[in-house]
Amino acid sequence: MRIIRTTGLLGLTIGLALLIGLTVWSGLEPVRAAIAGIGIGVLLVVLVRAGTASIAAVGWWVLFPPKERPRLTTCLSLRFVREGANALLPLGQVGGDLIGARLLTFCGVPGPLATASVIVDVLVLAVTQALFALTGLVVLVALGVDPTLAWIAGGGLLLAMPMLVGFWLAQRRGGRAVVVGLLGRFRGAWAKTLAEKAERLFVDLSALHASRSRMGASVALHYLDWLTGIGEVFVAFYFMGHPVSLAEALVIESLMHAIRGAAFAIPGALGAQEAGLVALCAVFGIPPDQAIALSLVKRVADLATGVPGLAIWQWMEGRRWRGRRTAAAPGSASDAPAAGVVAAAPPGHAAP
């Protein structure tokens, strides 16, 4: 855990330095003027971001079997938690997803199913992001601009394919055999408990993968989520007085997310996002100061949607902590069985 924190802080430092350097290089005054020119457009960008996060939440929600599906509002809230932690905390690009799985158990979802749902959701997000990047690459080639960029983007997609396939295989029988086999080499109650949890996790993973209708719906919704994000680029440049076509906005947004994915070790892809946008926007004749302004407006959207998510996380953790403290207090309801009262057990469980 210390290594993860150290790596995150190092990446954050490098990213901040790169962000500051690019902003100074582009010119502080032109960047300030470009941001000021967006005006009310910043609010529209934030609304687009909230819309994409909401669609992604529904894409996660539909993965659950109907009888075990949490409330849609739960997935909506936790989607913003995941977005906020991934964008604003030095936890890497999956830290927020781990937090989301934990918080889902607070809402009555069994731990293995909560974890399995997040794992499958991350897989669907990764696959649809690759499809989105491929769409952007095809549009870039069709526009006939900068073949060098097209070759670089195509090479990056080819490199990502084996990782996606490996991630998928790890959730199937092969991954199950490896994990259970490794745990079987150890002795002790802890190893047996972990093996049982791993077995249950893979059972839930198999069940989620088995439903083609739910997987198909999740893929469609997440792809729509990525497409909706085009609105951020379109709106920002429109208000900056440098309107772009939907095709150009698609190329910029899709390949920017591909760059963010490659920079997963840097919290929020600080610096990497800005450098990528400068390069992508230059293809369409957009000056660096406006590219940096677009990135900074996207950072505002990160804050506007991420901070409430982090607040929800802390509220849920605090409520759970207070509940445990109350239950452990002398004379609380948890002491009732000791006084000769048998507590009612939930369905399927024996009373103590």
- The per-residue pLDDT for range 70-112, each reduced to its tens digit, is 999 999 999 999 999 988 887 666 789 999 999 999 999 999 9
User: Residue 177 carries which side chain, given as an amino acid letter?
Assistant: A
Instruction: Identify whether 327 is part of a domain.
Output: no
Considering the domain boundaries, does residue 335 fall inside one?
no
What number is the average pLDDT over the span 213-217? Answer: 96
Euclidean distance between CA atoms 32 and 5, whole angstroms = 33
Asked whether residue 100 is assigned to any structural domain, the reply reads yes
For residue 116, tell me if it sits in a domain.
yes
Q: Is residue 296 part of a domain?
A: yes
User: What angle, 0 to 180 degrees and rounded to 10, lies between the N-to-C axes of helices 41-61 and 28-38?
Assistant: 70
pLDDT in tens, 248-297: 999 999 999 988 887 777 777 777 888 889 989 999 999 988 998 999 89
More confidently predicted of 324 and 310 = 310
Q: How far is CA 228 from the centre of its chain?
A: 16
Task: With respect to residue 333, please indicate whether it lies within any of the assigned structural domains.
Answer: no
Over residues 32-36, mean pLDDT: 71
Bigger pLDDT: 11 vs 221: 221
CA distances from 76 to 20, 56, 122, 135, 268 (A): 34, 8, 16, 27, 21
Yes or no: say if 283 and 145 are a contact pair by the CB < 8 Å rule: yes
Which range (15-29, 118-132, 222-236, 321-335) has the least confidence? 15-29
CA 73 from chain centre, in angstroms, equals 17
Distance, CA of 32 to CA of 114 (rounded, Å): 44
Say which residue, 177 or 323, is predicted with more confidence.
Answer: 323
- pLDDT above 70 covers a percentage of the chain that reads 80
For residue range 182-212, list pLDDT tens digits in order: 766 777 777 677 777 788 888 899 999 999 9
Tokens of 4: 């993860």
Contacting residues for 184 by C-beta, under 8 A, at least 6 apart: 191, 195
Domain count of the chain? 1
Q: What is the pLDDT of residue 28?
A: 67
C-alpha 229/C-alpha 236 separation (Å) is 12
Nearest to 77 by CA among 305, 309, 320: 309
Give the model's pLDDT for residue 161.
Answer: 87
E strands in the chain: none
Give the CA radius of gyration of the chain: 23
| The pair of three-digit structure tokens given for residue 350, joined into one six-digit string | 């024996």
Q: Which of 284, 268, 274, 276 is nearest to 234 (CA)?
A: 284
Instruction: Report how far residue 34's alpha carbon sits from residue 39's, in angstroms, rounded to the nearest whole number.
Output: 9
Q: Please check whether residue 300 lies inside any domain of the structure.
A: yes
For residue 322, tell me if it sits in a domain: no
Burial class (CB in 10 A: 0-12, 13-18, 19+), 342: exposed
* Residue 8 pLDDT greater than 70, yes or no: no
Domain of residue 282 covers 2-317
pLDDT score of 127: 95
Q: Tokens at residue 37, please? A: 């020119």
